[in-house]
DNA sequence: CGGTATCCCTCCGGATACTG
DNA sequence: CAGTATCCGGAGGGATACCG
């Protein structure tokens, strides 16, 4: 019931705010990738072949702007840029897990049953 | 974390699936409203003044198509249509709560007290 | 290597008017 | 009452080429 008011008041509804932060098409994927490793731009692109450079840059910038990931640039030639998850970004992982579990259970999406380090491309 | 492989495998990523279902602009709001009451079309529109009829209809149809809400039509003149949440829809309320709590805590969005989720868990 | 710039097209979504 | 119909601007997002 309070939930209703939270939204009705419409004072920056936290649900919408959260969705704005993690709802981007590639953001959950990026966050999960960075949860384990610090990765360079091209490496991310390899791991997500479907994303175009423009979109990848956009999603990374937004995640950085929201403080979920950090971008470290090494002034070298050739350039080197490393993306990693921040402490704030780590706090969102349980939220993603919730989304994953609901989707898996109620939408019948599998592919999470035996997820050890066995899966490979 | 296991999340990575779930997403890397990319076989209908459950996170994306969940976001597709609840990520619509007005869907969390509609679900929360219907969590407490069965409501008629115009009543929903009153409670969410910002939504246009076109968008409201679209979001309702999508929620219905995904099985989260049900639409009951009374063949009367004037017409009467009631929307209510389904059992499946109720299972998503804890997910919304997770989103709300994260947004409230880490994005500093207030305006919440407690959420009543009628499903036990 | 790590991006921009540009083109282009689709779809989102608001506003308004209308209808069975 | 519960929606459609229509118009329209703008954002989303793919493809390709180019740059520091």
pLDDT digits (tens, 9 = 90+) for B39-93: 999 999 999 998 999 999 999 999 999 999 999 999 988 899 999 999 999 999 9
A2, A18, A33: best mutation site toward chain B, by most B Cβ within 10 Å? A18
Contacts of A4 (CB under 8 A, 6+ apart): B32, B33, B35, B36
Query: Do the chains contact at B29 and A21, CB–CB below 8 Å?
Result: no
What angle in degrees, to the nearest 10, is found between the helix axes of A93-106 and B14-22?
Answer: 90
Coil, helix or strand at residue A115: coil
Instruction: Give the tens place of pLDDT for each residue, A46-74.
Output: 999 889 999 999 999 999 999 999 999 99
Q: CA nearest B116 in A: which residue?
A: A1
Q: How far is A56 from chain B (nearest CA, A)?
A: 16
Q: How many CB pairs under 8 A join A and B?
A: 175
CA distance B98 to B47: 23
The model carries a pTM of 0.86
What Å distances lie between residue B32 and A18, A68, B29, B36, B77, CA to CA? 16, 27, 5, 7, 29
For residues A111 and A100, is the Cβ–Cβ distance under 8 A? Answer: no
Coil, helix or strand at residue B84: strand
Coil, helix or strand at residue B87: helix
């Amino acid at each position: 019931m309070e939930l209703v008011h939270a939204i009705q008041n419409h004072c920056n509804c936290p649900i919408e705010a959260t969705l704005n932060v993690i709802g981007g098409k590639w953001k959950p994927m990026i966050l999960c990738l960075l949860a384990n490793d610090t990765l360079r731009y091209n490496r991310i692109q390899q791991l997500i072949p479907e994303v175009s450079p423009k979109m990848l840059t956009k999603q990374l910038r937004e995640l950085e702007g929201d403080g979920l990931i950090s971008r470290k640039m090494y002034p070298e030639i050739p350039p080197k840029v490393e993306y990693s998850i921040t402490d704030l970004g780590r706090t969102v992982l349980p939220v993603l897990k919730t989304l994953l579990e609901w989707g898996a259970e109620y939408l019948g999406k599998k592919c999470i049953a035996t997820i050890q380090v066995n899966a490979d491309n």
